[in-house]
Structure 1
Amino acid sequence: MDADHGPWKWADLGFTVTFSLDLVPEDLLTCYGADPVRAELLTRQEAWDKYSPNHGGTQLRTGTLNGWGFCFEEIGYQGSRPEVLTMLSAHTEVFSLFNMSGKSTLKYFRNGLRIESFEPGFAYSVRGQQPHALWARTEQLARSKSLPPNRAALGAIEERIGARLGQDLLEGVLLTAYLTEPRPSAPFPTPQRNPPGRFLGSFDPMTLDPPRPPSLGEP
């Protein structure tokens, strides 16, 4: 799972990633409240040069992976917001993993509703519909592969989507936008294909202080 480190290369900075079934990058940006018309195809280095996330906004980098649209936010949390996940999951389903400052949450929404959510490693944080399959698989992976709970959570998501979020993909060319408004106001998108605190009630990633940006000499 960690052969190329994937997003964990930037775990000290923190990140949020979402995976939405059958949504294309333009749909994702609309759900986040960004303007897809103004988005550009950029590498990670180019994105940092142009849209530094520490200047009061959110850098959104989007692509597709095995039929799932993904949005990666380095030093960002918009993809963990319930209103964003409601939009992303309208008419489809979405997985979200937030990881920053020693805290992480996994959320699964379908058709605009939360199905399951938890903080990896903390059984009392589990919320949503039984049988809590994502929680069970995350715990199993953590035990069987000796993984930290947050990495096991991403592994459980990657099993569900049938693909890995690799470092090369994240460093390569992706459709990139910069979100300056904290709350999205876009309507629900129509998918282009038919889709087949230690307490979640009080923990709000918006209360976290943003980490410092990395040295661009070592992306």
Structure 2
Amino acid sequence: MSKIFTSHELDKSNNFCMTLSLGKSPEEVINIYGADAGEARWLTADAPGAYVTNATTTVLRAGSLGDWTFCLEFEYLLGSNEGIMRELSTNAEAIVIFRTAKALTGFHYVANCELLESFEPGYPPSVSGRSSHEFSSKVHALTSTGLDPVAACLEVVTGHVGCDLTKETLRGPLLSVIMDKPDLVAFARRDPLLLRPAVPQKSRRRLGRRL
């Protein structure tokens, strides 16, 4: 059974990346990743072409959740590329959740090309930045009860989006496209890095005394 067929429950998947972007269509998101939406087809998870086991390709699968579009992949984690996150969040919001085969889990929240929150779910000292949505606080409140970090992220994010990401949604049909040599495509991107919130500088008191 293929990996995508067994990964309808993302909290049990060892290697995946999911992005969610506000106000962009599945076709726009596919193009932002560097694939050609004109070659994409609407496929269910068990359809030919919905998943390939090849070291030089990846499959992007995109669909809608209300006003948001999610894009899912299981191989190269392209969605965590800063150039892609920047375009997904241009004049909008974007959320990225990923887990690597080395068990590293990550969460990024980007708005208008600025990385506002970034952290490793389940590890509060990793938190960098803060937004009015307080994703890190909400996720860590759940992981502190023993909930899986990815499951905690999905619960918080679906609450923010206002739609459930069900097994039926992940099964599709979703807009799917095979992307060749995605690592080269990502490497070729020369997009500016994401903006980061400015860190307030502490005022320094001058040494000595005033005469």
Instruction: Assess same fold via TM > 0.5.
Output: yes
Contact 1:25 1:69 in 2 (8 A): yes
Query: Once the two structures are superposed, what CA deviation does each residue of 1:144-168 show, in whole Å capped at 9, x if it has no partner?
Result: 5x31222212211111111121111
1:7 maps to: 9
Contact 1:59 1:73 in 2 (8 A): yes
List gaps (5 residues or longer) in structure 1: 189-219
* 1:36 positional shift: 0.6
Query: What TM-score, normalized by structure 2, do the two folds share?
Result: 0.77
Higher relative contact order (CA 8 A, sep 6+): 1
| 1:150 equivalent in alignment to 2:150 | yes
Query: What TM-score, normalized by structure 1, do the two folds share?
Result: 0.74
* Superposition map of 1:87-102 within 5 A: 87-101=87-101, 102=103
* 1:53 positional shift: 4.5
* Superposition map of 1:88-167 within 5 A: 88-101=88-101, 102-129=103-130, 133-144=134-145, 146-167=146-167
List gaps (5 residues or longer) in structure 2: 1-6, 192-211
Counterpart-to-counterpart distance in 2, 1:100 and 1:6: 17
2:65 maps to: 65
What fraction of aligned residue pairs are identical, expressed as a percent?
Answer: 29
Equivalent pairs counted in the alignment come to: 181
Counterpart-to-counterpart distance in 2, 1:112 and 1:89: 5
Contact 2:50 2:176 in 1 (8 A): no
Contact 1:109 1:115 in 2 (8 A): yes
Residues 1:165 and 1:50: Cα distance change in structure 2 (over 3 Å): closer
Contact 2:95 2:109 in 1 (8 A): yes
* 1:23 positional shift: 0.8
Greater Cα radius of gyration, structure 1 or 2: 2
